[in-house]
Amino acid sequence: MDPGAILAANGMSITRNRVNILNTMKLATVPLSGKEICQRLREGCDKSTVYRTLNTLYNKEVLQRVIIDHEVKYALRSGDRPGNGHDRDHLHFKCSSCGKLFCLTETEVGDYQLPEGFIKEENQFLVIGKCNKCR
Partner DNA sequence: TAATATTTGCAAATGAGTTGCAAAAATACG
Partner DNA sequence: CGTATTTTTGCAACTCATTTGCAAATATTA
Residues near DNA (CB under 7 A) are: 12-18, 33-35, 44-49, 51-53, 55, 71-72
In 3D, which of 62, 65, 88 has the Cα closest to residue 1? Answer: 62
98 lies in the binding site for Zn ion (CB under 5 A): yes
Element spanning 19, H or E: helix 16-27
The size of the interface with Zn ion (CB under 5 A), counted in residues, is 6
Q: State the Cα–Cα distance between residues 21 and 6, nearest whole angstrom.
A: 12
Of residues 39, 78, 97, 124, which one binds Zn ion by CB under 5 A? 97
| Closest approach of DNA to the CB of residue 108, in Å | 29
Q: State the Cα–Cα distance between residues 116 and 100, nearest whole angstrom.
A: 37
28 lies in the binding site for Zn ion (CB under 5 A): no
| Closest approach of its own copies to the CB of residue 9, in Å | 25
| Closest approach of its own copies to the CB of residue 16, in Å | 29
134 lies in the binding site for Zn ion (CB under 5 A): yes
Q: State the Cα–Cα distance between residues 132 and 82, nearest whole angstrom.
A: 20
Q: Smaller CB distance to Zn ion: residue 67 or 134?
A: 134
| Closest approach of its own copies to the CB of residue 91, in Å | 7
122 binds, among DNA, its own copies, Zn ion, none (CB under 5 to 8 A by kind): its own copies
Please list, residue by residue across 41-72, b when 16 or more beta carbons sit within 10 angstroms of its beta carbon and e when fewer do.
Answer: beeebeeeebeebbeebeeeebbbebebeeee
Q: Smaller CB distance to DNA: residue 34 or 76?
A: 34
Q: CA–CA distance from 17 to each of 37, 52, 74 (Å)? A: 11, 11, 16
